[in-house]
Structure 1
Amino acid sequence: MTSSLLSYPEPGADIAPQRIASSIDAEHQWRSPRAHQAQPHRQRGDVQVSRWTRNITTPLEVVSHGNGSDHCIGLALKCVSLTFNHAGRRLMQGRVTAGVVQVTAPAVSVSAVFESSVDVLHLFASQQVLAECYEDLFQQPHAGDIVLGDPKLVRDAALDRLGQALVVSQTSDAALGKVFTESVSLAIVSRIVARQFTASNAQNREAAALPQWRMNRVIEYIDAHLAESIGLADIAASAGLTRMHFAAQFRRATGLRPHEYLLRRRIEHAQQLLLSSKHNVFDVALSCGFRSQAHFTTVFKRFVGETPCCWRTKANGAR
């Protein structure tokens, strides 16, 4: 049902358990990392990190009944088309951009129907971790358990950067990898806690963000014209705004400049073509709006970490 193009090293057997695992588990079941499957009721003072990837584009319905003690933080590493239900209520139906975050409280059931390939990071944070983050942020303990109660999907550029850093970092030093993973994971949880308890500031920042209905128009326009030369004026016009108003509102809504978002979508489309067609790299580049194979290769390597040829070979081998 799931597959991963990356391999994840197991934690060293000689390293004692500490605050966080030294690797990212590959989930074989959505929102259910191996540690939770083995000991679903254990109390942990750590952040369990796992990654769920799926390269198949046929629709897939998944369900999670929630962990009894941990909050689950889901962070999209790439754009994905889905329907997402939280506690029986539909929260989202459509395309979600990379960097979108959703937090589910303990013991809350969620379900989703994925209609595209998926790459999502899940962090499971215990009460002990949430309490430590809160006290570190506000210099006083929180009275009672912390419940991150807002389940809506939000886009946070800082969380996007932290998530990307977490999954692309590579090191041969197990101890150093452990420290890095622990630090970045705690930074993600800390920012989630800060958003929860400084909601008024967050709402003020989001007030001038591009509305979702305009964002939907922009996404539809970009997806329909990926092979063409698209300018800022074209994208702004699809949202019914001038270039100046659009650029500022788009960045506040997504954390990305329009050009950066366009490049991401072109690379994601290129990955789909590389997997699903026999076109050569040059033809794929042209189909995704790049005017030369050299430019396409440079941008592809920047986002994916490998050249298109190498990535295609590994992806086909994994499938």
Structure 2
Amino acid sequence: MHLAPNNTLQSTDCEPKADTKLASKLNALNMFPITQTSIFMNKDIHIVRSSHEMAESSTVCFALTEEAPYHFTYGAGSGLWLMMPLNIANAKVRFNDLEENFTIAPNDVFINSNQAPIDFHLENSITAFHVFIKSSLVEEAIGKFYQSGKYKILFPANIARSNSTISMLVQSLRNTLKNSAQKSELLMEYIARALVVEFLRKFSEEALEPAFDGVNDALNPSQLKRVVEYIDANLTSSIRTNDLAAIAGVSRTNFIKRFNSSMHCTPARYIFLTRIKRARKLLKQSDLSISFIAVACGFSDVAHLSTSFRRETGVTPSVFRKERHAEED
């Protein structure tokens, strides 16, 4: 300490304390930057501005983008992805062997809560605003607002429709990019929570169903064995949920519920993880080309495999193979 010319005390130590530095590093590791999201990997999406330039959050991030027409496969995600185009967006989305065409009006919101990879084909240039909310925030809201121990909450895969409250909340997040007075993590978290609650209230309320008790809660061992064997034998082709339900001998809706109870994931998620598991095995134990492995595991091409593999494991197939070989040397 020393006296400044105005007789006020000033510190001569400008370096933060060690524990402060450590806390800053830990906080940085917990942040959720736009670089961890699917759109950052798409070369046809230009990020104009993002929450990375503001006070970052650990559960939500967002970005204003300019996008050229593209065809891109987004890997299985978690949480919610909301996209609000600022001009008309024409898109074709393929997921779980289903294909849907969307025309999204300006300021309407496309929501994806799917746990399996989706092929997204944007057919025209747009300016858009994207919001990503981590699954931990969704689970927190479910625990507070619903009797999650007694109910199974089933989310729709993709939604594209007008909803004034969700659109208003997304617009509020977008405004934080323009209004410096609103640059705070607290506001971002508040709006993100409001978005999750509104999503649950609007789009999952009718899907809240009592959890089964007793034997009907899960597939029996014989049913599960037939389904798993069919999936293993048909990874190179398209696997439809309807076919799996027929193999189990139950309705599609009943099958999805009971499979989820047996395997703790959706059929689509299980198929995806099985494909990734086979790809890991082939990359580690064979010298087959990555293009051959992509087809052998049911991916449409190398790009589809690479994107999905990286999102699930954190590395590309080629890097994974090199690392495994290096461990053996």
Quickly name the TM-score band, shorter chain normalised: 0.3 to 0.5
Larger radius of gyration: 2
Tell me the TM-score normalized by structure 1: 0.44
Q: Scaled by the length of structure 2, what TM-score is found?
A: 0.43
